[in-house]
């Protein structure tokens, strides 16, 4: 197997080896053209450099309209590796990540970010490969009053920013675990939560050992800055999952993930962009970074020798627009903050231009799905 850990990004390869006069056409074909760069101040860049944080920004525009002003919103996507080793105490691991994310959010606030989203279950290592209950279940917390949620409420209120915080939830009443994203508005108030709709059962992704599929459906949250939804990780492989968020009115769908190169990297650049095109909304795809080594070896019934890591999380977070345009991704190997300014008017403009919603056959799909579900095939 080739070593991909030294590959910073596909974009860096393109920029290094393709002449500038050809690169623009390559970007047009691959990315629908690269959006304009969002100006960032020297102070913001210096602050990011002090944190060893990659900082990028892009602007997605819409056509000017006569009756509607631009609907501009600035979003932030955070990708990061764990800070403390997995054999440190639960409190030490979580506290180190809390501090790291707080520092990154501060940089986002200085750059005018209005909605920020972190990677899947960010306050902990992605330990579900191990199938061990302790200590990993101790990272779980209440979606109403847990330490990570309280921290994000403070960050949201301090920076007047909507915060989407994916956590391992421990339900207050049933004590069951869920893979959850809590949505906090700019005043620090919890406005809802979304749970993971699809749970993988492949390779070392042993997540159903800990939690099962959500029963909350496809919530869309109407916020000050637009209608947002969260499609957690493995749900990106299911086109109907994406479709339901669109039918429920989403304008931006965040996809916080934790996925590894050996499993999904060839799919990564395709799926979020396809969803944006098919459903006429923006998609923010976020993935964690690094290789997490666990204290005890594990196997997963897949004929592989016992091992201590899930694999390399390859970052590469990016934003895709309804038009099919996407920005270059963040690094495969570094912590990063990607800032994107979106004009949400593009959602309706693209829907009108392509007519995907108008020409869809929802009643026909519904009837045939009903027949399939009920065994009338």
Annotation marks residue 157 as catalytic: no
Which residues have a Cβ under 8 Å from the Cβ of 42 and sit 6 or more positions away? none
Structure tokens at 216: 């909350």
Catalytic residue among 54, 120, 141, 292: 120
Catalytic residue among 233, 251, 292, 312: 233
Cβ(339)–Cβ(75) below 8 Å: yes
Q: Rounded to an integer, what distance in angstroms lies between the CA atom of residue 183 and that of residue 202? A: 29
Spacing of C-alpha 198 from chain mean position: 15
Q: Rounded to an integer, what distance in angstroms lies between the CA atom of residue 49 and that of residue 283? A: 27
Q: Beta strand 282-287 with 289-298: parallel, antiparallel or unpaired?
A: unpaired
Which residues have a Cβ under 8 Å from the Cβ of 247 and sit 6 or more positions away? 362
Structure tokens at 263: 């499993």
Question: DSSP letters along 89-119, please?
Answer: -HHHHHHHHHHHHHHHHHHHHHTT-SEEE--
DSSP alpha helices (H): ranges in the chain? 10-17, 20-31, 42-50, 90-110, 147-159, 239-247, 261-279, 345-354, 356-359, 362-373
Sign of CA dihedral 344, 337, 199, 191: negative
Annotation marks residue 233 as catalytic: yes
Which residues have a Cβ under 8 Å from the Cβ of 181 and sit 6 or more positions away? 117, 164, 165, 166, 167, 193, 194, 195, 230, 232, 254, 256
Catalytic residue among 56, 193, 196, 227: 196
DSSP letter, residue 87: T
Q: Rounded to an integer, what distance in angstroms lies between the CA atom of residue 299 and that of residue 301? A: 6
Q: Rounded to an integer, what distance in angstroms lies between the CA atom of residue 269 and that of residue 237? A: 12
Q: Which amino acids are annotated catalytic?
A: 120, 196, 233
């Amino acid at each position: 197997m080739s070593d991909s850990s030294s590959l910073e990004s596909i974009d860096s390869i393109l920029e290094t080896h393709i002449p500038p006069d050809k690169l623009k056409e390559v970007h047009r074909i691959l990315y629908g053209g690269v959006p304009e760069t969002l100006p960032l101040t020297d102070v913001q860049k210096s602050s990011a450099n002090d944190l060893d944080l990659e900082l990028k920004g892009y602007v997605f525009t819409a056509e000017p309209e006569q009756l509607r002003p631009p609907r501009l919103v600035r979003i932030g996507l955070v990708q990061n590796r764990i800070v403390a080793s997995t054999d440190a105490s639960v409190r030490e691991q979580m506290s180190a990540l809390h501090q790291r994310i707080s520092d990154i959010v501060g940089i986002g606030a200085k750059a005018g970010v209005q909605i920020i989203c972190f990677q899947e279950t960010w306050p902990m290592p992605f330990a579900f490969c191990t199938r061990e209950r302790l200590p990993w279940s101790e990272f779980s917390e209440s979606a109403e009053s847990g330490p990570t949620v309280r921290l994000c409420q403070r960050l949201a209120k301090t920076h007047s920013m909507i915060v989407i915080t994916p956590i391992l939830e421990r339900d207050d009443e049933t004590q069951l675990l869920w893979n959850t994203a809590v949505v906090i508005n700019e005043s620090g108030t919890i406005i809802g939560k979304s749970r993971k709709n699809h749970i993988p059962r492949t390779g070392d992704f042993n997540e159903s050992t800990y939690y099962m599929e959500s029963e909350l459906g496809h919530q869309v949250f109407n916020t000050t800055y637009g209608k947002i939804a969260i499609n957690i990780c493995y749900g990106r492989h299911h086109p109907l999952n994406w479709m339901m968020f669109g039918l429920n009115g989403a304008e931006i769908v965040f996809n916080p993930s934790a996925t590894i190169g050996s499993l999904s990297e060839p799919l990564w650049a395709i799926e979020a962009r396809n969803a944006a095109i098919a459903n006429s909304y923006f998609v923010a795809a976020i993935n964690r970074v690094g290789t997490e080594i666990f204290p005890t070896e594990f196997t997963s019934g897949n004929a592989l020798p016992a091992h201590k890591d899930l694999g390399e999380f390859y970052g590469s977070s990016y934003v895709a627009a309804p038009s099919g345009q996407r920005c270059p991704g963040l690094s495969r190997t570094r912590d990063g903050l990607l800032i994107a300014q979106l004009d949400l008017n593009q959602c309706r403009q693209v829907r009108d231009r392509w007519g995907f919603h108008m020409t869809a056959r929802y009643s026909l799909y519904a009837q045939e799905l009903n027949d399939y579900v009920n065994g009338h095939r």
